[in-house]
Amino acid sequence: MHGRPRKALKPEDEAASSAKAEKLQQHVASSSFNSLFLSLSFSSPSINSNRANPVGCRYSKEALDLSAKLLEINPECYTAWNYRKLAVQHILSNSDSDPQSIFSDELKLVENALRKNFKSYGAWHHRKWVLSKGHSSIDKEMRLLNDFQKEDPRNFHAWNHRRFVAGLMERSEEDELKYTEKVIGANFSNYSAWHNRSVLLSNLLKREAEGYFPKEKVLEEEFQHVHNAIFTDPDDQSGWFYHLWLIDQTVKNEAPLLVSSWPSHGSSITIIGDNGLRGCGLSLLNGTQSDSGTLPIILYFNQAVKGINSSTVAIESELLTKELVWKPLAMNNSSTAQVWVVYLDLGNMELQQSKTYSVEINIGHSSGILSSNGNHYGDPSQISFEVFVQTANTEPTEGQGGKRTTWNDTNFQKIDHFQELDSIFTADQNHHIPKSLDWCTEEIVKEITNFRDLLSEYDCKIGKLTLARLLTALDMLSSQHDGRKSNTEEVLQLYTDLMKLDPTHSLYYKDERSLISLKQITSTRDSLLPYCHYHKDATETFTGHVCLRLQNLSLSRMGSIENLLWVQMLDLSHNELQSIEGLEAMQLLSCLNLSHNKFGSFTALGPLRLLKSLKVLNISYNELGSHSIDTTRYLCSSPVAHTEEFAWDRFETLTGSVNATNFWEAFLLFGSLALTELNISGNAVADENFRSFLVKVLPTLKWLDDEELS
Amino acid sequence: MTEPQDPFSFSSYPPIDPINFDLIVIGTALSESVIAAAASAVGKTVLHLDPNSFYGSHFASLSLHDLTSYLTSPHHPPRAASGGDSDYFGVDLVHQHPCSDVEIAFCDDESESFLRENSRKFNIDLGGPRALFSADKAINLLMKSGASQYMEFKGIDESFVYEANEGLANVPDSRGAIFRDKKLSLKEKNQLMRFFKLVLKHLDDTQEEKISEEDLEIPFVSFLEKMKLPPKIKSILLYAIAMVDYDQDNNEVCKDLLKTKDGIDCLAQYSSSVGRFPNAPGALLYPIYGEGELPQAFCRRAAVKGCIYVLRMPVISLLMEKVTGLYKGVRLASGQDLYSNQLILDPSFTVPSLPSLSRRDVLTERLQMLSQRDIKGMVARGICITKSSIKPDVSNCSVVYPPRSLYPEQVTSIKALQIGSNLAVCPAGTFILYFSTLCNDADEGKKLLKAAMNALLTLPVSENSESIPSVQSDSADIKPIVIWNAFYIQKLITSKFEFISSTPTPDGNLNYNDLLDATEKLFGQMYPNEEFFPKATSPEDPKDEDEDEDEDDDGEDSGITLES
């Protein structure tokens, strides 16, 4: 069904073309134009030694003819295309040349080459290059394209070229859209055509072209159009892809919006201070970890934004002593991030006991906050919270380092009523109401009805997936809207079914399911409460920590972080996590248990580097060091990539003695952390060598693998 | 190929030489022509005669004038020629006009004169509506026999099904057509496509999933019900795609209850026809210059292989050996006697049934046998000429009216075909529409056809207008006005293999499959040891070929010439 693969040559064709090529080669060999192949082979130094070679000879007519012949036989020879580009440029540099005829010869050659193999990248590229020079008529292009697209309407090379030519000709997008309609009408399994449709329609909608406004009307028509494809043949995925794009167009918010923050609006933070709140010992909530004396403020947006600074986000408070610098929480050093953080420095401040300090944050009242595709912040919003300073009534935290954090079930106690959660879930957590929400909801509800119908007729994977996505989208819309019954249970069931139905993609479904279950768990105060526990330390006394325990939930991916910004102690053990993308937003996190998961590399733990408060980390019983080739390494930055500040000097000093140059990953991770406890046992990497390396990298470390370091 | 100069002086006609043949064929309808070509191809000496001045007999395409006179003229009684050999007993042949109950009407004087002036520009099919599926037997036979080189085709643009109160709807006959369809609901689209896929899977040898043996034997309509297909889809599949004639839901009147396996075969043929040739997007093809080209192409094929052709030459009697009663030869209107081992007779010729059993001998018995005709009902045909299309922007299209779509008592489906001037069968700006249906009597047939015509066209008011069930058309658009129309009835006579064989009359189908099956069977009975168009005959003897195009036939499909 799918496409037409690049044909392997039929034996007879192959024989014929190799015979031709041989003849050509003989010809070359016998003639004095070896220079052609000299100049064709760019690996040879001939390109730079053109002083030795008279230039005229390198681009002689016969050499050009030979390369043309070569390309007509084998259009894949991109070296020859390149040679021709250089040759053309050389010839054009002669003042008496006629660019029009030269370029039209090139176009003819490309056409012949394309007739030989119209999936040749080199040939299409050459054509584009020639046309972009602007010396040739483009009238013929559409005719040629129609020819090629008639042969194979799905060829994406031709579609790419079509977009290029349409742009060059300034052909109207409406006409091009009609063309996609025609092609899709003839055979709707055509990803390229649907794709082009989405590109054209995006532009038309964006500029509100005549007949393409309002967006709602156009999208409704498109939904109907693609339904025909999906219902006619649910097994064909091309329509589904377009449908997914349509859902996205329906629900997506172009404008950046604030999703959540810490502290949240209307909350009050109790700081338990001792020693007149000087220096270390500053606590947040009931925690005790932060010894930096800073209070973080975290802003969590619906998409990556840039331009968060003291002018776009105005903070008014007595606690504010100096200009604040907002930091993007991103792994890639970019100035765009979904989560931004700023630290209020309270360490050097005289804070009055039993006094309530109020903090007011105004976001987006002056423009400057932009999404990555240039949309302005949607809805100016305000967050205000209170900070209450209380005298410590617990034991001073001296000797804290001597206690080891244990994660046994006996160390936790269920919480019946956790008042502090109230402040986390405030009623107006989402204080934005996007325009035309009613229409979105209505449209999604319509789609859901349609696909329930389809599934009742015909059980198909992609139909289930779409239904799950639609229900999720509906929940998302209605959570902003009203208290409609959520469809989480059904969505979870759908993903569970899909994992069985379609084992090939079960990892994807698992990830989606993880996200949904996390959303379900974190959606309300009541749903979250069962997962919150008081932590007791090894001596069975309550530390007063509240630990969020999300262990044994088969999670393969983290999500709903926006609801977890308050968490200081997190237990994610006994899951199937391979990555903790997004965890960097949890700036309050000080104790983290990731044991018994599936982390395969230190790179996968990269987000931890941004958790400045992290003190206790358990990554025992993972797969660190088990995989000789770590594929995540290619997705993440490496020291070679020059995007990371890598302290080579320190690294060499530390590893110089031990033969462990391959510990750079671990160094990159731990080098920027100040852990006091680390458990890395049960990983392939954790041999003696490595442990002694860790001790050097982490001078703050007091406990390693349940052993107290002397 | 020789033709007499003066059709009315048979006696002055130069005698045919030789006088002995392996086979004499009388009539140039499709079956006769195919047999003549097939017999010639295996080296038989064949004489092919036709009393008419044109090729094609019942499958001819005629000018308007010729058609009118053909339909209205009483059969031409051949003058009994005397003479001959006394060793043989001459049995006079009786020609029964193949068309009866002929009705012809003009709209007005103006159109009458227009048609008279343009009469020659028409090539009207006698056996219409008739078309070829791109993947059917006729196409394959054309390619196999080499006759395809004498023909050119064009695709029928659209296929419609007539729906009560709804008018014409496209037949959703392919994936693309289902996708584009505007009338099916999403659910129906899904159901229909899934059924197509089921059939394709069943037909695909590499697939495990098959329709069970029991299901293949049950009526197709029951199978469709079992598959939970709604009535609308069922009707499309049965009547517009499988093209069954009788109401499959009505056991009392249904004469052709289709079994699942046959239904599947029909679907398979239909679906492999769609898009077989890039220039023909639909399933159907039509020959440029009309269906008369088809028998003619086989005749040309036969002529290339040495078959002798004589037109305008009636045969007046059969020559039988007096003692044994065996067939020996024929006596021509010119008086010449010709002899052959076998004879193929146009079904409109018969011998008079002998009134008494006075001579009870072998000969009489045999003649009695010959005079008995196996008549399987009749087919009513109608032809209309209009000046506008039944569907704007569509020139050539087929229409099926499923049973009960016109009125509740309609038990057979009606097939129609509109052909426009781009197929060189009518002057520019005109359209020919053919209608046919099976029926038990002429009145019933005509009533059905008139209802079908009325649903889409405005018929000229005839004096003896009976009460035709009127079909409401909710659409306000003006129906094309019929400027000329004709009705006639043909009896359905099956082919027969006796000591004298006869071919079948045109059936009520849209395609030629059944006719060609019967023809091939007949050929096999006549020549059990000969292959029906052996493969080796394709490469031509260049010297035999007057217009050898010298195309190298490498691909199977390259034999068909399609005009885009």
Q: Measured between CB atoms, does A147 come within 8 Å of chain B?
A: no
Chain-centroid distance, C-alpha A294: 30
Measured distance CA(B405)–CA(B80) in Å, rounded: 51
The residue segments making up the domain with residue A370 are 260-393
Calculate how close chain A gets to B187, using CA atoms only, in Å. 7
In chain B, where are the structural domains located? 10-97+289-375+494-526, 174-273
The SS3 call for residue B207 is coil
Calculate how close chain B gets to A241, using CA atoms only, in Å. 16
Q: Phi-psi bin for B290: left (phi > 0), alpha (psi -120 to 50), beta?
A: left
> For position B205, what pLDDT does the model report?
81
Give backbone dihedrals phi and psi of B16, rounded to 5 degrees, phi first.
Answer: -80, 140
Task: Give the mean pLDDT of chain B.
Answer: 80
- DSSP bridge pairs for A679: A618
Structure letter (DSSP) for residue A376: B
Structure letter (DSSP) for residue B241: I
Question: Number of A:B CB contacts under 8 A?
Answer: 42
**Would you call A185 and B176 a contact, using CB atoms and an 8 Å cutoff?**
yes
Measured distance CA(A661)–CA(A652) in Å, rounded: 8
Calculate how close chain A gets to B556, using CA atoms only, in Å. 18
**Would you call A188 and B176 a contact, using CB atoms and an 8 Å cutoff?**
yes
**Would you call B178 and A232 a contact, using CB atoms and an 8 Å cutoff?**
yes
Q: Measured between CB atoms, does B183 come within 8 Å of chain A?
A: no
Task: Kindly list the residues from chain B whose CB atom is less than 8 angstroms away from the CB atom of residue A458.
Answer: 190, 194
Q: Which two tokens stand for residue A189?
A: 């399994």
With a cut of 90, say whether residue B400 has pLDDT above it.
yes
Is residue A636 domain-shared with residue A619, that is, in the same domain? yes
C-alpha distance from residue A286 to each of A269, A273, A546, A567, B49 (Å): 10, 10, 8, 11, 113
Give the end of a domain, one of A370, A393, A416: A393
Calculate how close chain A gets to B158, using CA atoms only, in Å. 14
Measured distance CA(A239)–CA(A5) in Å, rounded: 21
Region B395-421: mean pLDDT is: 90
Q: Measured between CB atoms, does A453 come within 8 Å of chain B?
A: yes
Q: Is the pTM of this model over 0.95?
A: no
Give B364-367 contacts, CB < 8 A, sequence gap 24+.
B364/B325, B365/B325, B366/B320, B366/B325, B366/B498, B366/B499, B367/B91, B367/B320, B367/B325
| Least confidently predicted of A261-270, B134-143, B298-307, B548-557 | B548-557
Is residue A562 domain-shared with residue A682, that is, in the same domain? yes
Measured distance CA(A606)–CA(A614) in Å, rounded: 13
The CA-CA-CA angle for residues A112, A118, A120, to 5°, reads: 100
With a cut of 80, say whether residue B350 has pLDDT above it.
no
| DSSP string for B489-518 | EEEEE--B-SSSEEPPPP-S-SSSHHHHHH
Measured distance CA(A131)–CA(A129) in Å, rounded: 6
- DSSP bridge pairs for A306: A370
Give backbone dihedrals phi and psi of B429, rounded to 5 degrees, phi first.
Answer: 85, 0
Pairing of strands A356-363, B167-170: unpaired
Q: Measured between CB atoms, does B207 come within 8 Å of chain A?
A: no
- Contact, A339 vs A270, CB < 8 A? no
Find all residues with CB under 8 Å of A693, minimum gap 6, and list them: A654, A655, A658, A660, A663, A666
Give backbone dihedrals phi and psi of A691, rounded to 5 degrees, phi first.
Answer: -65, -40
- Contact, B141 vs B519, CB < 8 A? no
Percent with pLDDT over 70 in chain B: 84
Structure letter (DSSP) for residue B458: B
Q: Measured between CB atoms, does B513 come within 8 Å of chain A?
A: no
Is residue A679 domain-shared with residue A601, that is, in the same domain? yes
**Please, what CATH class does the domain formed by B10-97+289-375+494-526 belong to?**
alpha beta
Nearest to B62 by CA among B331, B295, B262: B295
In angstroms, the first-to-last Cα distance of chain A is 68
The SS3 call for residue B319 is strand
> For position A347, what pLDDT does the model report?
67
Q: Is residue A2 part of a domain?
A: no
What's the full length of chain A, in residues? Answer: 710
Q: Is residue A444 part of a domain?
A: yes
Measured distance CA(A189)–CA(B368) in Å, rounded: 63
Measured distance CA(B351)–CA(B370) in Å, rounded: 7
What's the full length of chain B, in residues? Answer: 564
Measured distance CA(A105)–CA(A113) in Å, rounded: 12
- Contact, A561 vs A584, CB < 8 A? no
| Interhelix angle A506-522/A488-501, nearest 10 degrees | 160
Is residue A290 domain-shared with residue A206, that is, in the same domain? no
Q: Is residue A91 part of a domain?
A: no
Calculate how close chain B gets to A233, using CA atoms only, in Å. 7
Task: Kindly list the residues from chain B whose CB atom is less than 8 angstroms away from the CB atom of residue A188.
Answer: 175-176, 179
ipTM more than 0.95?
Answer: no
Is residue A440 domain-shared with residue A518, that is, in the same domain? yes
> For position A484, what pLDDT does the model report?
55
Q: Measured between CB atoms, does A446 come within 8 Å of chain B?
A: no
Neighbours of B320 (CB within 10 A): 23
HSE (side-chain half, CA atoms, 13 Å) at A547: 28
Is residue A560 domain-shared with residue A700, that is, in the same domain? yes
| DSSP string for B176-199 | HHHHH-SSS-HHHHHHHHHHHHHH
List the single residue in B with minimal CA-CA distance to A452.
B187
| DSSP string for B250-262 | -TTT-S-PPBHHH
Is residue A594 domain-shared with residue A663, that is, in the same domain? yes
- Contact, B240 vs B433, CB < 8 A? no
Region B75-102: mean pLDDT is: 68
Nearest to A684 by CA among A605, A594, A623, A617: A623
Is residue A470 domain-shared with residue A349, that is, in the same domain? no
- Contact, A296 vs A348, CB < 8 A? no
List all residues of chain A from 178 to 237 with a beta carbon under 8 Å from chain B: 185-188, 227-229, 231-234
Right CATH for B174-273 from 1.10.405.10, 3.40.50.720, 1.10.3720.10, 3.40.50.700: 1.10.405.10
Measured distance CA(A167)–CA(A267) in Å, rounded: 54
Calculate how close chain B gets to A449, using CA atoms only, in Å. 12
Residue with tokens 């007791």: A536
HSE (side-chain half, CA atoms, 13 Å) at B359: 12
The CA-CA-CA angle for residues B96, B99, B100, to 5°, reads: 90
Give backbone dihedrals phi and psi of A272, rounded to 5 degrees, phi first.
Answer: -95, 110
> For position A570, what pLDDT does the model report?
92
Is residue A635 domain-shared with residue A666, that is, in the same domain? yes
The CA-CA-CA angle for residues B338, B341, B344, to 5°, reads: 80
Instruction: Supply the Cα-derived Rg of chain A in whole angstroms.
Output: 32
Measured distance CA(A299)–CA(A261) in Å, rounded: 5
Is residue A571 domain-shared with residue A633, that is, in the same domain? yes
Whichever domain contains A701, its CATH number is: 3.80.10.10
Sign of the C-alpha dihedral computed for residues A485, A491, A492 and A494 taken in this order: positive
> For position A194, what pLDDT does the model report?
93
Residue with tokens 């006769």: B32
Does A645 or B90 have the greater pLDDT score?
Answer: B90
Is residue A447 domain-shared with residue A472, that is, in the same domain? yes
Measured distance CA(B265)–CA(B517) in Å, rounded: 15
Write the pLDDT tens digit of every residue in B213-228: 888 888 888 888 888 8
Is residue A691 domain-shared with residue A582, that is, in the same domain? yes
**Would you call A231 and B189 a contact, using CB atoms and an 8 Å cutoff?**
yes
For the sheet with A381-391, list strands across it. A268-273, A381-391, A356-363, A313-317
Task: Please tell me which of the candidates B179, B191, B194 has its beta carbon nearest to residue A229.
Answer: B179
Q: Measured between CB atoms, does B193 come within 8 Å of chain A?
A: yes
Residue with tokens 């069954």: B244
Q: Is residue A299 part of a domain?
A: yes
In this structure, which amino acid lies at residue A669? L
Q: Which two tokens stand for residue A29?
A: 């060999």
Q: Is residue A140 part of a domain?
A: no
Does B383 or B564 have the greater pLDDT score?
Answer: B383
> For position B296, what pLDDT does the model report?
92
In this structure, which amino acid lies at residue A565? L
Domain count, chain A: 4
In B346-412, which ranges are E strands? 349-350, 375-386, 397-401
Q: Largest Cα–Cα distance in chain B?
A: 77
Neighbours of A359 (CB within 10 A): 20
**Would you call B189 and A232 a contact, using CB atoms and an 8 Å cutoff?**
yes
Q: Measured between CB atoms, does B279 come within 8 Å of chain A?
A: no
Consecutive 10-residue averages of pLDDT for chain A (710 residues): 51 61 54 44 41 54 81 83 86 79 85 84 88 80 84 86 87 89 88 92 86 85 91 89 90 81 81 44 40 78 88 84 84 84 77 79 85 80 81 49 68 69 51 63 89 87 91 79 71 92 90 90 84 73 74 90 88 92 89 92 86 90 77 50 61 63 77 88 86 86 84
Q: Which two tokens stand for residue B403?
A: 């049973």
- DSSP bridge pairs for B25: B48, B344
Neighbours of A15 (CB within 10 A): 11
Task: Kindly list the residues from chain A whose CB atom is less than 8 angstroms away from the CB atom of residue B175.
Answer: 187-188, 232-233
**Would you call B186 and A233 a contact, using CB atoms and an 8 Å cutoff?**
no
Q: Is residue A330 part of a domain?
A: yes
Residue with tokens 């069985």: A500
C-alpha distance from residue A454 to each of A187, A474, A503, B60 (Å): 21, 18, 22, 51
With a cut of 80, say whether residue B10 has pLDDT above it.
no
Q: Measured between CB atoms, does B190 come within 8 Å of chain A?
A: yes
Find all residues with CB under 8 Å of A669, minimum gap 6, and list them: A602, A603, A605, A606, A608, A609
List the single residue in A with minimal CA-CA distance to B228.
A457
> For position A678, what pLDDT does the model report?
92
Task: Kindly list the residues from chain B whose CB atom is less than 8 angstroms away from the CB atom of residue A450.
Answer: 186
Measured distance CA(A196)–CA(A211) in Å, rounded: 18
Measured distance CA(A666)–CA(A649) in Å, rounded: 15
Write the pLDDT tens digit of every residue in B25-57: 998 988 899 999 999 988 889 999 888 888 988
